[in-house]
Every structure is written in C-alpha cells, then in structure tokens.
Amino acid sequence: MRRLLGSRLPTFSPEERRKLGYKLDFIGINHYTTLYAMDCMFSSGCPLGQWTQNALAAGTGERDGVPIGPPTGRSMFYVVPDGIEKMVTYIMKRYNNLPMFITENGYPQVEEGHTNAQEWLHDQARIQYLDGYLTKVAKVIRSVRSSNLTP
C-alpha cells in the first residue's frame, strides 16, 4: 500500500500507535449505491483516472450490458438495496459486531431538480429507494436480534 500511495498514506510514530491502540470505537458507513469492481492491475480496458490508478480497480454499474440495478438520474448511481445489506452484514461479522452508524445515504438529486413542493412530496423514485434501503437495514438488525447479538 505504501509503495502505491507513497506520502499520501499517513505514518504514525510508535507513541501515536500506542495511543491509538489499534482499536476502533465505531464504524461509520457512507453508502449510496453498489457497483461492480473491475481489476485494473491484470485486465485491459480500464478507464484512466486518479481513482482508478490509486485503487488499481474501476467501478462499473453494468455487467454484460445489464445494469446492477435500476438507474437514477445520475450516472454511476443505481438503486441496489442488497448492497447495503451485504455491506452491513460483512462489517458486523468482520469487526465482531462493533457499533456502526450509517452516516450518509440517499438518493441523488437529478440535475434539473424539482420545480415545486408537490414534486418533492411525491418523489416516488426517492421514496422507493429509501424504503428499499431501510427495509434491508431493518432485516439485518432483526437477524442480529434473533441471534442474541447486540446490533
């Protein structure tokens, strides 16, 4: 990692490492969409860009021409509620049920936006997005409670 990112990756003194104790208090999750990942280290055809070069991977919302989920008004944003369920479940298991907070989530605003209050109040795409994502998070919480773990 250090070889790839160089000075952009922070370093910590032994004292700073001791103070941190390699412990996390909680995990914050920012999740808006889910994409497929494409290897850019050994595969050809990856788009160029700083993010792609740093990660040695690229994100795409399609596989074999089929979108990962319903598209939104923004490119590279798809509605994929299963993605947040899988992410929360993975983090819960990987980090031994460490407290986590969904710190950011939401449906993207299209460029034109709404023109009046009624459009805001009846934005069915946004309502369906939030319903789908919250339903999946609730499913994980219920599964944790039924297994006698603390969410």
**H helices present in 56-123, as ranges:** 81-94, 117-121
As a whole number of angstroms, the distance between CA 90 and CA 105 comes to 18
Q: Are strands 27-30 and 100-104 parallel, antiparallel or unpaired?
A: parallel
3-class SS shares of the chain: helix, strand, coil, % to 5 = 40, 15, 45
Q: Which residues form the catalytic set?
A: 104
